[in-house]
């Protein structure tokens, strides 16, 4: 008897991105499905096999990355990293942003990629059980965060996002693994607006 848990459970996600202006007005700029990547299966295999961390907190999706050079070619299950993730915690936090950022290694291609990566964190209060088998992650990039990003002196836009499970190997420093990915139309982030990513995953 052979089951593929990800396919048979039909784990899928949906991402909505909204701009929120200072006036309070909210504008939906993206509303589509996402890609559950193979890292989700690797994380769940570690959990159910009891071959990784002994704490279920290490199997939670508690962080994300934003990136600058995504593409639809990355929307496949074998994707294990963003194409061009933000390169420092300062890029997440900005000058006076309220977003929380952290750093850690990353699991890629079944090995620990031992270079510092930056992540935005998802606070517990932004993780909501919508129903018995659905979780919604709300990521708020406030007006002061991720603004006016540049590469080689040129302005660049955010166009990819990924969700990460915390630390399945109980590694020190933590080594998150990418579990969901989505490319979207470029958004040049400025202090004129904040961004809300509402990401629901149905298990």
Partner 1 sequence: MLVDGAGELIVDVMTANRSLASIPSASAILDASNYTFHAISYGKDADGFRNHAHTILSPSSTKTIKVKSYDAVTVSSYHTSSTASALADTYKLLPRYPSPLDRRLELNSTVTTYSSGVPDVGQCLNSVINPSLSAYSHLIGCFPASAPTTYWMVSSVLNTTGSVIFSGTLSSFYNYYSLMDTSGFLTFAPGYAAAQNALWDAADYTKGVVRACKTSFPEKINMGWRLNNGDAGGLLLFGGLYHIGLWYLDLKEMLKQGYYPPYSFNTLNNIRKYKLFAKKTFNKDLLYLNDAGGLSAFKTYFDSASALRTAVTILWDINFV
Q: Which of 46, 63, 182, 198 binds partner 1 (CB under 8 A)?
A: 46
Q: What is the b/e burial string over 37-67, where b = at least 16 CB atoms within 10 angstroms of the residue's CB?
A: bbbbbbbbebbeeeebbeeeebbbbbbbbbb
Q: Is the CB of 135 or the CB of 156 nearer to partner 1?
A: 135
Q: Judged by CB under 8 A, does residue 172 bind partner 1? A: no
Q: Which of 19, 29, 41, 100 binds partner 1 (CB under 8 A)?
A: 41
Distance CA 166, CA 135 (A): 16
Single out the segment in contact with partner 1 by CB under 8 A; choices: 22-30, 125-133, 142-150, 190-198.
125-133
Q: Judged by CB under 8 A, does residue 45 bind partner 1? A: yes
Q: Judged by CB under 8 A, does residue 100 bind partner 1? A: no
Q: What is the b/e burial string over 23-33, where b = at least 16 CB atoms within 10 angstroms of the residue's CB?
A: eeeeeeebeee
Single out the segment in contact with partner 1 by CB under 8 A; choices: 7-15, 23-31, 86-94, 152-160.
7-15
Which residues contact residue 27 at a Cβ distance below 8 angstroms, ignoring those fewer than 6 apart? Answer: 18, 19, 20, 21
Q: Is the CB of 95 or the CB of 130 nearer to partner 1?
A: 130
Residue 88 Cα distances to 91, 118, 199, angstroms:
5, 5, 23
Distance CA 114, CA 173 (A): 9
Q: Could you tell me which residues are beta bridge partners of residue 128?
A: 136
The single-letter DSSP state of residue 85 is: B
Total residues at the site for partner 1 (CB under 8 A)? 43
Q: Is the CB of 20 or the CB of 112 nearer to partner 1?
A: 112
Q: Is the CB of 49 or the CB of 185 nearer to partner 1?
A: 49
Q: Which of 21, 33, 51, 88 binds partner 1 (CB under 8 A)?
A: 51
Q: Which residues bind partner 1 (CB under 8 A)?
A: 1-6, 8-9, 11, 38, 41-42, 44-57, 59-62, 110-111, 124, 127-129, 132-135, 201-203
């Amino acid at each position: 008897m052979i089951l593929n848990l990800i396919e048979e459970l039909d784990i899928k996600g949906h991402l909505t991105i909204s701009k929120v202006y200072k006036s309070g007005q909210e504008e939906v700029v993206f509303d589509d499905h996402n890609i559950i990547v193979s890292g989700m299966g690797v994380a769940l295999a570690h959990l159910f096999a009891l071959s990784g961390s002994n704490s279920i907190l290490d199997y939670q999706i508690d962080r994300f990355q934003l990136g600058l050079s995504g593409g639809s070619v990355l929307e496949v299950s074998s994707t294990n990293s963003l194409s061009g993730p933000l390169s420092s915690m300062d890029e997440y936090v900005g000058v006076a942003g309220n977003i929380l950022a952290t750093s850690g290694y990353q699991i890629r291609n079944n090995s620990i990629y031992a270079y510092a990566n930056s992540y935005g964190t998802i606070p517990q209060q932004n993780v909501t059980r919508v129903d018995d088998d659905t979780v919604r992650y709300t990521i708020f990039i406030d007006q002061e965060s991720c603004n006016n990003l540049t590469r080689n002196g040129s302005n660049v836009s955010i166009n990819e996002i990924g969700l990460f499970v915390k630390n399945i190997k109980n590694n020190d420093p933590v080594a998150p693994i990418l579990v969901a990915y989505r490319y979207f139309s470029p958004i040049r982030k400025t202090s004129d607006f904040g961004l809300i990513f509402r990401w629901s995953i149905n298990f």
